[in-house]
A and B are shown apart, each in its own frame.
Chain A
Amino acid sequence: MSKKLLEVKNLKQYFKVGGSFFKPRYVKAVDNVSLFINKGETLGLVGESGCGKTTLGRTILRLYEPTGGQIIYDGQDITKADMLPYRRKMQIVFQDPYASLDPRMTVGDIVGEAIDIHKLAKNKKERQEIIISMLERVGLNSEHANRYPHEFSGGQRQRIGIARALAVNPEFIVCDEPVSALDVSIQAQIINMFEELQEAMGLTYLFIAHDLSVVKHISQRIGVMYLGKLVELAESNELIFHCAHPYTKSLISAIPIADPVTARSSKRIVLEGDVPSPLNPPSGCRFRTRCPYATELCAEKEPELREISPGHYTACHHFDKID
């Protein structure tokens, strides 16, 4: 039985946007999300822009203070705890390797900053050794430590970002769209590196991306989000081949398959319209405005996430009618 490393219960993250002092308006970026991640596992999180996947990742690390709910890390409730000791265990790799590295710091200092904060090195020599071993771990070398971020290509910068996350020897990493800014041939290099590092260091990942093929490749389980809600969660193959939620179904069918024969023969479900504004989400099920299966029930009652087969959760009133 694998152990839960991280668990969130009914996590809420509301952002205040305008409104008056007495009647503030909120964007419910993450609304009542519960999930857990086992030790050594990769949980993928997919969804379209604005669905709250990045916010969820950041709230888990308490980069945003949660509005409600609980975050439990390794048995400890960290919702209100002092985060400094946990920052050593929980790290993040950001999406944009151009914006997430300080252009005025050398690569050595970028990686070394975390070592200083957590006082992981006894002296300068040891600090340098850790930095170099981290750079080597991600496929760079000691020469690179004295250079600045602008001297590197996108793929190399992402490696620096990963080296920075690894510097404190973490257990858990939130990977927030780590490959979407990269070229296809470089993407595969970075994905493989994530897998190798996981094996070598026993890491646990929350892997956030909008590209379902990438997420499917790297994750054991996948969660699908829509407008701040978790709508489906299942083991990867189960989710791709036996999805139960109509949104997941349309998401999968919308992805162009890189195989001409399959692409010609496959039937596509093209969703009508756009994602509604999160400021004013539809009543009941948030997907109902675009859902081909929607009935009156969907407008009245919000479907709850329930287990339909072992380990497969979905939030839909009509999951049994969907073929």
Chain B
Amino acid sequence: MRELLLDIRNERLSFFTPAGEVKALNDVSIQLYKGDVLGIVGESGSGKSVTAYSIMQLLPQNAKIIGGTIDFNGHRINDMTEEDMRKIRGNEVSIIFQDPMTSLNPVYTIGNQIIEVIMLHTNKTRKEALERAEELLALVGINEPKKRLKQYPHELSGGMRQRVMIAIALACEPKLLIADEPTTALDVTIQAQILELMMELKEKLGMTIIMITHDLGIVARMCEKIAVMYAGKIVEYGSVDEIFYNPQHEYTKGLLRSIPRLNDKDKKKLVPIPGTPVDLLNPPAGCPFAPRCDSCMKICLREMPPYTTIKDDHFSACWLLQKKEFEQGGGKK
């Protein structure tokens, strides 16, 4: 039996801004088992980062979880105090941020920033922590780790800094690693190095990873499961192969049609998704994708579609699928 590590059920989260309530997450449920690699894809503002940050309770003051529960490794995150949360952050759950230039502290050495995490969460002495830090830098493929420990972030290149970020994230051997667009700020050849490294470490340490990205290529290569988010809702969820070869939601289909492919010999015209992303201050009453959807029906504008299960753990929220299922069910009778 596989061990359930993360269980998010029907989470609703809003930001209360002067302009009104922004419904950032709308009924998000994710179950993650030990060793899973989940990719969350979606456009900017679709709620992919907020979902991940809410697991660590790294939310701005005006954000509030309105409903649902988050269970991580036996802890009910919703009920935890700030003090208890600090024991989990960086220890059981870690995060790698998008921009390695701004997420390291420029006035501390690399060594100081790594041992800070180790000394906070373990009983190691400074000397032991430094030894561990050296090990970690070697693990993430940084040469001359002893010398690097004494250097400042500005002395390292972007790829190196991201490796340091990964080393910090791995310092306490977390059960869950969240990678929030870890390679977006990097060049492709460096991106390839970092992705390779993450895959190696996953094999070695048996981590569970949530990979947040807008790049479908990265997901295809790294992940086993994909959650496609749109306007704060998971519109489709399934295994990589199901999502890529048997997409059911119109938004997922649209995304796959709109990306240029390097390995196509003939030039095909791209099929863009018309319109612009929804304004979460005034979301439409029904399906958030309805205004941009080609197959929009009357009911789509009125009511939020429920999830339809397509196969084992492949499900999608679209009225078209409900209609199809209803017709098939009706035919049998």
Please give the residue numbers on chain A whose beta carbons come within 8 Å of chain B beta carbons, in ascending order: 48-49, 153, 155-156, 183-189, 191-192, 195, 210, 212-214, 216-217, 237, 240-241, 250-264, 268, 270-271, 274-275
Determine whether B44 belongs to the interface, using a CB cutoff of 8 Å to chain A: yes
**Which residue of B157, B214, B259, B269 contacts A274 across the interface (Cβ within 8 Å)?**
B157
For A257, give its contact among B43, B221, B267 (CB under 8 Å): B221
CB-defined contacts of B196 to chain A, threshold 8 Å: 268, 270
B191 at the interface (CB under 8 A from A): yes
Judge whether A213 and B261 touch: CB under 8 Å: yes
Question: When chains A and B are docked, how far (Å) is the Cα of A98 from the Cα of B78?
Answer: 37
Set of chain A residues within 8 Å of B173, measured between Cβ atoms = none
Residue numbers in B under 8 Å from A240 (CB-CB): 262-263
A188–B262 touching, CB < 8 Å: no
Interface magnitude class on chain B: 35 or more
Beta-carbon contact of A49 and B187 below 8 Å: yes
The answer to whether A216 touches B221 (Cβ under 8 A) is no
Instruction: Given the known inter-chain contacts A183-B43, A191-B260, please indicate yes or no for A250 contacting B271, CB distance below 8 A.
Output: no
Task: Answer whether residue B255 sits at the interface, using C-beta atoms and an 8 A cutoff.
Answer: yes
B159: Cβ under 8 A from any A Cβ: yes
Contact between B220 and A210 (Cβ–Cβ < 8 Å)?
A: no
Are the C-beta atoms of A216 and B260 separated by less than 8 Å?
yes
B→A interface (CB under 8 Å): 43-44, 157, 159-160, 187-193, 195-196, 214-221, 240-241, 244-245, 254-256, 258-263, 265, 267, 269-274, 276-277
**Cα distance A87–B218 in the bound complex, in angstroms:** 40
User: In the complex the two chains form, is A258's CB within 8 Å of B256's CB?
Assistant: yes
Q: A183-B43, A192-B270, A216-B262 are in contact. Are A258 and B220 (CB under 8 A)?
A: yes
Instruction: Name the distance in Å between A273's Cβ and chain B's nearest Cβ.
Output: 9
Residues of B within 8 A of A260 (CB): 220-221, 240-241, 244-245
Specify which of B191, B193, B221 is in contact with A263 (CB 8 Å cutoff): B221
Residues in B neighbouring A48, C-beta threshold 8 A: 187-190
Do A257 and B220 have beta carbons less than 8 Å apart?
Answer: yes
Q: Could you tell me if B216 and A258 are in contact, using CB atoms closer than 8 angstroms?
A: yes
Alpha-carbon gap, A257 to B244, bound state (A): 12
| A interface majority secondary structure | helix
Q: Do A254 and B188 touch (CB < 8 A)?
A: yes
Q: Which of B190, B218, B255 has the most CB of A within 10 A?
A: B190
Max chain B C-beta neighbours (<10 A), residue from A155, A185, A262, A268:
A185
- Provide the residues of chain A in CB contact with B258, threshold 8 Å: 184-185, 187-188
Q: Within 8 Å CB of B44, what residues of A?
A: 183
Q: A213-B261, A253-B192 are in contact. List 5 more A-B contacts (CB 8 A).
A: A48-B187, A184-B214, A188-B273, A256-B220, A258-B216
Among B159, B244, B265, B270, max chain A CB count under 10 A is at B270
Residue of A nearest to B251 (CB): A185
The answer to whether B265 and A192 touch across the interface, beta carbons within 8 angstroms, is: no
By beta carbon, the residue of chain A nearest B279 is A153
Going nearest first, the 5 A-B pairs with the smallest beta carbon separation are A256-B217, A188-B272, A217-B260, A188-B258, A254-B192
**Contacting residues, chain B, for A187 (C-beta < 8 A):** 258, 272
Known contacts A188-B270, A188-B273; decide if A251 and B217 are in contact (CB<8 Å).
no
Q: How far is the CA of A250 from the CA of B190 in the complex (A)?
A: 11
A213 touches B260 (CB 8 A): yes
Residues of B contacting A261 in the complex (Cβ-Cβ under 8 angstroms): 241
A153 CA / B214 CA spacing, docked (Å): 18
